[in-house]
Amino acid sequence: MITRFDKLQTELPHPDHPSPNSAAAVQELLGGKFGELSTFMNYTFQSFNFRGRSEMRPFYDLIGNIAAEEFGHIELVSYAINLLLTGTTERGDDPAETPLASAVDARNTYHFMASGQQALPMDSQGNFWTGANVFSSGNLKLDLLHNFFLECGARANKIRVYEMVDDPTAREMVGFLLVRGGVHIVAYAKALEKLSGVAVGKLLPIPDISNKRFPEAKKHEAKGLHQILYRMSPNDYKEISKIWSGTHPEDGSALRVVDGPPEGAPVPEHPEEPQLTSPIGPDGIDKGILQEMATRIFGKS
Amino acid sequence: MITRFDKLQTELPHPDHPSPNSAAAVQELLGGKFGELSTFMNYTFQSFNFRGRSEMRPFYDLIGNIAAEEFGHIELVSYAINLLLTGTTERGDDPAETPLASAVDARNTYHFMASGQQALPMDSQGNFWTGANVFSSGNLKLDLLHNFFLECGARANKIRVYEMVDDPTAREMVGFLLVRGGVHIVAYAKALEKLSGVAVGKLLPIPDISNKRFPEAKKHEAKGLHQILYRMSPNDYKEISKIWSGTHPEDGSALRVVDGPPEGAPVPEHPEEPQLTSPIGPDGIDKGILQEMATRIFGKS
Amino acid sequence: MITRFDKLQTELPHPDHPSPNSAAAVQELLGGKFGELSTFMNYTFQSFNFRGRSEMRPFYDLIGNIAAEEFGHIELVSYAINLLLTGTTERGDDPAETPLASAVDARNTYHFMASGQQALPMDSQGNFWTGANVFSSGNLKLDLLHNFFLECGARANKIRVYEMVDDPTAREMVGFLLVRGGVHIVAYAKALEKLSGVAVGKLLPIPDISNKRFPEAKKHEAKGLHQILYRMSPNDYKEISKIWSGTHPEDGSALRVVDGPPEGAPVPEHPEEPQLTSPIGPDGIDKGILQEMATRIFGKS
Amino acid sequence: MITRFDKLQTELPHPDHPSPNSAAAVQELLGGKFGELSTFMNYTFQSFNFRGRSEMRPFYDLIGNIAAEEFGHIELVSYAINLLLTGTTERGDDPAETPLASAVDARNTYHFMASGQQALPMDSQGNFWTGANVFSSGNLKLDLLHNFFLECGARANKIRVYEMVDDPTAREMVGFLLVRGGVHIVAYAKALEKLSGVAVGKLLPIPDISNKRFPEAKKHEAKGLHQILYRMSPNDYKEISKIWSGTHPEDGSALRVVDGPPEGAPVPEHPEEPQLTSPIGPDGIDKGILQEMATRIFGKS
Amino acid sequence: MITRFDKLQTELPHPDHPSPNSAAAVQELLGGKFGELSTFMNYTFQSFNFRGRSEMRPFYDLIGNIAAEEFGHIELVSYAINLLLTGTTERGDDPAETPLASAVDARNTYHFMASGQQALPMDSQGNFWTGANVFSSGNLKLDLLHNFFLECGARANKIRVYEMVDDPTAREMVGFLLVRGGVHIVAYAKALEKLSGVAVGKLLPIPDISNKRFPEAKKHEAKGLHQILYRMSPNDYKEISKIWSGTHPEDGSALRVVDGPPEGAPVPEHPEEPQLTSPIGPDGIDKGILQEMATRIFGKS
Amino acid sequence: MITRFDKLQTELPHPDHPSPNSAAAVQELLGGKFGELSTFMNYTFQSFNFRGRSEMRPFYDLIGNIAAEEFGHIELVSYAINLLLTGTTERGDDPAETPLASAVDARNTYHFMASGQQALPMDSQGNFWTGANVFSSGNLKLDLLHNFFLECGARANKIRVYEMVDDPTAREMVGFLLVRGGVHIVAYAKALEKLSGVAVGKLLPIPDISNKRFPEAKKHEAKGLHQILYRMSPNDYKEISKIWSGTHPEDGSALRVVDGPPEGAPVPEHPEEPQLTSPIGPDGIDKGILQEMATRIFGKS
């Protein structure tokens, strides 16, 4: 079970230059084979499926707890996409004026047909995320090795999206996730190390470039965000500290568990796109109409 | 963001007759087009994507809040599958004794190859869940109509799985979900009614059979579980009560919001399957060995 | 069984500005999840599969009859695509002159590789239509609810394509289909109303914008085309009038059944594209050569 | 455009032994890569897309006309599947009695979950038909070669289904389609022969076994059904006789065009399956209730 | 470029008990996500794509050389499947005798429809292999980590198939591939060790069970087959010995490169299946007829 | 089994104008339905699966031998793609400078995310190759007819890519493959002719345009390359000469078998792309660093 907070893990600035193709590229980090849906679903299923958890509880707690943080990551990427898409077509109430004309040349037309300029669980080519991306063999060493590899692959994609899109919304999101994903890489390296005695963490960084080369990641690491594993539960997953301890393999700083989720930031509002009848339309273009409608339905708030 | 509880929404009994083919059938409720992954992901994305939420907050709160309950549903179905699969092959430490012989004729071999007799995000034919199952048009009335239809389709599948599998684990899970899914059907009907004035709830039940015909659902409805919408958040989603109010369209009972998630029940333990090297093996068949290994790694607990 | 007429349901003008990307966008209305192939195949299979038809004949007749009209819709969308694609590359007989150079940047290269600048059963991202889009639960109320939702989703896509592409070929096609699809929306609303007593039609329009806002649809509604359900059969499907009767939920006008298909319009000719060896080539660029070839094969006509 | 007749191309007997797995096998002939949906959709799209039709009209007419017959073939296969599935689970009004128990071991659970024991556009493994099965290159010789190959592949599958399933419903359907599909093989061979002068028909039969070895096909050939190409249109497709003429390449009999579709046979009724709530239920098990409901809705008939 | 030998890498015995469902299970090792097609194609593409090969030649040589051995693995698994399928239906020349009756209940009907009781590039659920299984990031450390993980995943599947199927054909094939796949696991571990200094090989075995527990693998290891990396080229890939050297991480034995492929064994003959018209039929059931046909075509041999 | 040569079948020039979209188009010839992976895998599986090979050895040898040449074709297309992609983004060591900015508008983002500007087994729309493209019915005549059709379809795609991309790298590759693919078309035509007596070769060319119209193909044909079938094996596949003999159906020249593969040409080097961390990076931008690293690992070479 979960409870939900109407917050983002970190604050996202508004974009300097909204762009459908930037949004299309960022989709890889949401619904790609190595996107956040993959990490979220892999660890979620591995936690449901974990055998022998009474003896191996620290591993169970680690996987289940990281899963919970990943929900916040699909949320963060989705909001970045939505911010990049908002306002990219012509607002108006007359369909004959071809308000979506610019969408004809966009790389991903689903953003304008299947959604109202919003995120969908697909990748940068518009191919939908599939459950085939979930690996859950039941063998602990193999599942941990998979997770370590998955996080490294996810890191490679984050780096490449960062290098493709210079909008501050995208970069703030990627910078933050490089750090938090980096925590998960180290966590799985530590878990493998516990299980086997092999210093897997010494393979890092994979790919061979430090987070500190990315300004939006560096600023978070300067504050020690890469040293923290949040315990995303009021009362459970307490044995993560048996794995998340000691020092960071890249900079030697001390690792620590923080109880509870990060404080978070407000979720951005997404304004109406009346030409997409979102949420109603097209007469909703005049903000007052939507408010009047709400008052009629729910009374004065 | 979410926080996570290591609990199930309701208690699941152990199976009377574990069966790979029953587990294969139940997968439809997890990873089928109308499975719980679909409801979870639809409402999750619709909540990320909601436009005009300041005016239309009750709808935003409703969708986002139901999403949070759905996580508990994919968990519940997954545990039911795992319980039905556990112990269905021969435990042992000698691969030459063909311990998985019975799996050759099972309908879904992924349960024995890709997982360690565990749930995966796929349907009853072993086809993986796909993000193409997510609908998020941005138009509120259309999204609500979709959700109402989706829940009715999900209900049809639950009924059919109930009629296929008489194991108490499966039926307890389906009975509970018929009631909770029923709450979501009514919630979307109420939302459409608020938006349009049409008494959509009078279409129910769809399909034309009452929950009260299913003993494992009836017992929960007798306690009023179908009247409750849980508010799955410490501080957010408070305006759901502007939609979830009045009476139930099928039995006229009074609807009410309960703050916080249901109390929940302990998650079942999944024992080792050493022939599947799950979590280690095959030498882990002797329970002591796994315990010794844990002690070696983490010290005495 | 069917018989076929070499005619279109309505006349299509030639495009002002043929464009591969406009054609790519229009593909969503053909092979998208909510495209005409989906409506055609859904109702076709539901009619094959209908149980209890002797008692429920008006519903059976309605679904089977609408299926027949939908064939004309996949035809109409396909011709629009073909018109938009014809002539978009350089005609000529020398491949070394790179006649297809412009296709390298087109959004959908299948139009130039897998077809000869022609329609294929795919959507606006070049993903192929799949039978997974067919819903046929066997429960009448659920199937009708599905069909009502499907038509509303199809309408949303039509509106968005209209807003993306201002070419008169595309708009004439979309305008006509908004009206005819609108008839199907109302038909399924009426059917649900008959079955349940709920005034489903009052939910319309979904999305919240009237057909009358689209000049190419408005002109057809002005002539009453939205009031007519064609009976697409010489002798069958006569009981559709038990459902298609009364008044239109949006403008209150009287509904009526017309026996037989609409008069229709001539199908456009598609000229040769010799650089694509279509139908032969590249020597067929000189019209006379194709004629000579025909005469050699079939004699003087 | 089409008009539709509520008839089957040939009469289907009721099954001797309904069987989910036989129905699952027959699905290959409906939604398999070489199934009737593939032939129907290939020729339909090729006819929409045909370039140079004024010169090459006999080829255009041939393809478009065969497309129309194929609709009747998807219908025939679907009805055979429905007949094989009807009654294969326990009829009743109490879900707790596990009426669908037998479906747990059926090869294709979609028949019991996604449909009400009815046909869906999928193949014998439950994989859905895809538009990727449509070939429409625009080059006439290549398209005809494809169609010739497609029909031979379809014939191979028909033969194998015949050899798997001995139920009279299935065999009557396959026998008839071997003959009609055989007509289409010869038609495309003749077309290629016209175009190129190569006696393609001499390659037949492919695979190397005569239709006359199949009793249910032989009886139709004895009546000359393999010599007839139906002209499936009131006024169009008249130039098919420029290709469909001369003698049959296998037995030398004279080929002829028949104007209009075959007379056809009544479509079988599909009885209620109340445990599947199809069309309503489960209280509809008593036939009178469904009739009463109909009377309430539509009045006395 | 390659040259090909009409030989298998090891000898396969004829099956004791041919079985469609055993063959269906073995397909996972051919066309599954972790099957031999995946290893073959991953390393093949990584070798085409390798950047910086003049400096990093030992890695380039290693990957390209292992790719070449993998071709022999898809061959070996395919032959095992073909042997398990041959003779599983009734041989005969009369289709009316339902020679394929037993196939109706087989798990994978493609073996009888799409192939002539033969292997296809699909997995144990009949889902086709996809190029999405190829990983080629361009980053050497990440690609090597992937390959190490891929081989461990492949090993898990081999172990499970071994435990499902006790037929000597299957077990001989799996035993041999456990050893050769084990060589590839160690090779990628050594490569990672060279690159990073981390003793990745100490993680082995993954999953935690020794090859020596499998009699058909143990016998090959007893002869040292796990110590040998074949150089699958007349003149190239010579620098593999810079990586394949030192000792085996599991048993400490000395590793060595052998120039040229293994000696190999004759490929088994697959007899005719005339009821499947394979290679011709059904009159080919009499061996003499096929021979006569051959003589007529090619003259006396 | 195979052995591998580190060579290309023909020499490829470096591109005049590297271009992501040209590379994206060329992918159709690699991973498209009619791409080289399809021909390679079709003939490979048909050779594994061939029944009755002792009598029908010339056919077995032909299919198995052509398979071996096809490996060289996937290699050649992959190298062409890699050459077209190399250098298309900004080389550098600072990710904040947005070195991949140009990739945001590229048609295929997988080239920049999932690979390091390198080929993947996908088509021109970025859809991955699938094993469903393999046809292996077991019936010899049908399989040969398929192969003949497949090669003609592949030829159509080659022609269209030639007409889309005028870069010399692409055209040299396509010109060569038009000739070698042309050999395979004729080979299958000859095989069908042997089997049936029908002069299938007289259908050629399909599509109706001669290879001699393509300068880069013409030059190879001028040297007789279209007359040669290479025997791609040291000792096997010797009976191909029983089919590959007589004259070429298009120009009447004499056909001949050449023992052994073509001489081949050196494989191009792919330089580092440090901004993609390929093979390491980004510090590897300075060539010396990669060399130093190699020296540290392997010592002086």
Q: Given this model, what pLDDT does residue A237 score?
A: 98
ipTM for the whole complex: 0.98
Q: How many CB atoms lie within 10 A of CB C241?
A: 16
Is pLDDT of D290 > 90? no
Mean of the per-residue pLDDT values of chain B: 96
Q: How many CB atoms lie within 10 A of CB E77?
A: 27
Q: Given this model, what pLDDT does residue E283 score?
A: 78
Chains E and C touch (3+ CB pairs under 8 A): no
Q: Is B7 helix (H, G, I), strand (E, B) or coil?
A: strand
- Facing D165 at nearest CB: one of E104, E275, E281: E104
Q: Is B171 helix (H, G, I), strand (E, B) or coil?
A: helix
Q: How many CB atoms lie within 10 A of CB A210?
A: 15
User: Distance (Å) from the C-alpha of residue A142 to the closest C-alpha of chain B?
Assistant: 9
Q: Given this model, what pLDDT does residue D172 score?
A: 98
Which chain A residues touch B51 with a CB distance below 8 Å? 116, 118, 270-273, 278-279
F25-63 in b/e form (b: 16+ CB < 10 A) is bbbbbbbbbbbbbbbbbbbbbbbbbbbbbebbbbbbbbb
Q: Given this model, what pLDDT does residue E284 score?
A: 59
Is pLDDT of B287 > 90? no
Mean pLDDT of the B146-171 span = 98
8 Å CB contact of B293 and A55: yes
Are B232 and B65 in contact by the 8 Å Cβ rule? The answer is: yes
pLDDT tens for each residue of D69-92 = 999 999 999 999 999 999 999 999
CA separation for the pair F179, E272 (Å, rounded): 35
CA separation for the pair D2, C223 (Å, rounded): 23
**Cross-strand bridge partners of residue A19:** none
Q: Given this model, what pLDDT does residue D284 score?
A: 59
Q: Given this model, what pLDDT does residue B289 score?
A: 83
pLDDT tens for each residue of C239-263 = 999 999 999 999 999 999 999 999 9
- Facing D203 at nearest CB: one of F141, F146, F156: F141
8 Å CB contact of F75 and E7: no
pLDDT tens for each residue of F18-63 = 999 999 999 999 999 999 999 999 999 999 999 999 999 999 999 9
pLDDT tens for each residue of F86-101 = 999 999 999 999 999 9
User: Distance (Å) from the C-alpha of residue D103 to the closest C-alpha of chain C?
Assistant: 16
Subunits touching F (CB < 8 Å, at least 3 pairs)? A, C, D, E
Q: What is the largest CA-CA distance in chain F?
A: 67
- Facing C149 at nearest CB: one of B145, B199, B203: B145
What are the DSSP calls for E33-75, one per residue?
Answer: TTSHHHHHHHHHHHHHH-SSTTTSHHHHHHHHHHHHHHHHHHH
Number of cross-chain residue pairs from A and E with Cβ atoms under 8 Å apart: 72
Q: Is C17 helix (H, G, I), strand (E, B) or coil?
A: coil
- Facing B101 at nearest CB: one of E127, E164, E207: E164
User: Distance (Å) from the C-alpha of residue F174 to the closest C-alpha of chain A?
Assistant: 26
Mean pLDDT of the F116-130 span = 98
What are the DSSP calls for chain E, one per residue?
Answer: -EEE-SEESS--PPPSS--HHHHHHHHHHHHSTTSHHHHHHHHHHHHHH-SSTTTSHHHHHHHHHHHHHHHHHHHHHHHHHHHHHTT-S---S-GGG-TTGGGGG-S-THHHHTBSS---SB-TTSPBPBGGG--B-S-HHHHHHHHHHHHHHHHHHHHHHHHH---HHHHHHHHHHHHHHHHHHHHHHHHHHHHH---GGGG-SSSSS-GGGSHHHHHHHHTTGGGEEEE-SSSS-GGGGGTS-SB-TTT-PBPEEEES----EEPPP---BGGGTBSS-SGGGSHHHHHHHHHHHH---
Mean pLDDT of the B79-105 span = 96
Is pLDDT of F216 > 80? yes
Instruction: Quote the tokens at residue D68.
Output: 């129309």
Q: Given this model, what pLDDT does residue F127 score?
A: 98
Q: Given this model, what pLDDT does residue E289 score?
A: 83
8 Å CB contact of A113 and C162: no
8 Å CB contact of B156 and C142: yes
Subunits touching E (CB < 8 Å, at least 3 pairs)? A, B, D, F
Is pLDDT of C161 > 90? yes
What are the DSSP calls for F77-124, one per residue?
Answer: HHHHHHHHHTT-S---S-GGG-TTGGGGG-S-THHHHTBSS---SB-T
- Facing B136 at nearest CB: one of A74, A118, A272: A118
C178-211 in b/e form (b: 16+ CB < 10 A) is bbbbbbbbbbbbbbbbbbbebbbbebbbbbbbeb
- Facing D125 at nearest CB: one of E98, E109, E282: E109
Which chain F residues touch A107 with a CB distance below 8 Å? 105, 107, 109
Q: Given phi > 0 = left and psi -120 to 50 = alpha, else beta, which region is C260? A: left
Q: Given this model, what pLDDT does residue F282 score?
A: 86
pLDDT tens for each residue of A98-134 = 999 999 999 999 999 999 999 999 999 999 999 999 9
Chains B and D touch (3+ CB pairs under 8 A): yes
* Of E32, D114, B178, B128, the residue nearest A45 (C-alpha): B128
Residues 6 or more apart from B286 whose CB is under 8 A from it?
none
- In this prediction, the residues of chain E whose per-residue pLDDT falls under 50 are none
Of the given ranges (B98-112, B269-283, D123-137, F184-198), which has the lowest mean pLDDT?
A: B269-283
pLDDT band for B69, please (50, 70, 90 cuts).
very high
User: Distance (Å) from the C-alpha of residue E214 to the closest C-alpha of chain F?
Assistant: 25
> Which chain B residues have any C-beta within 8 angstroms of a chain E C-beta?
94-96, 98-101, 103-105, 107-110, 112-114, 126-127, 275-277, 280-283
The model's pTM is 0.98
pLDDT band for D286, please (50, 70, 90 cuts).
low
> Which chain D residues have any C-beta within 8 angstroms of a chain E C-beta?
19, 21-22, 24-25, 28, 32-33, 107, 124-125, 127, 156-157, 159-166, 207-209, 213-215
User: Distance (Å) from the C-alpha of residue C259 to the closest C-alpha of chain D?
Assistant: 11
Mean pLDDT of the A278-287 span = 78
User: Distance (Å) from the C-alpha of residue F208 to the closest C-alpha of chain E?
Assistant: 30
CA separation for the pair B171, A120 (Å, rounded): 33
Measured CA angle at B236 (ends B235, B241), to 5 deg: 110
Q: Given this model, what pLDDT does residue F281 score?
A: 82
**Length, in residues, of chain E:** 301
Q: How many CB atoms lie within 10 A of CB B10?
A: 20
pLDDT tens for each residue of C26-42 = 999 999 999 999 999 99
Mean pLDDT of the A159-163 span = 98
Q: Given this model, what pLDDT does residue C300 score?
A: 78
Is pLDDT of C284 > 70? no
Q: Is B220 helix (H, G, I), strand (E, B) or coil?
A: helix
Which chain F residues touch E114 with a CB distance below 8 Å? 135-137
Q: Given this model, what pLDDT does residue A253 score?
A: 98
8 Å CB contact of F261 and E3: yes
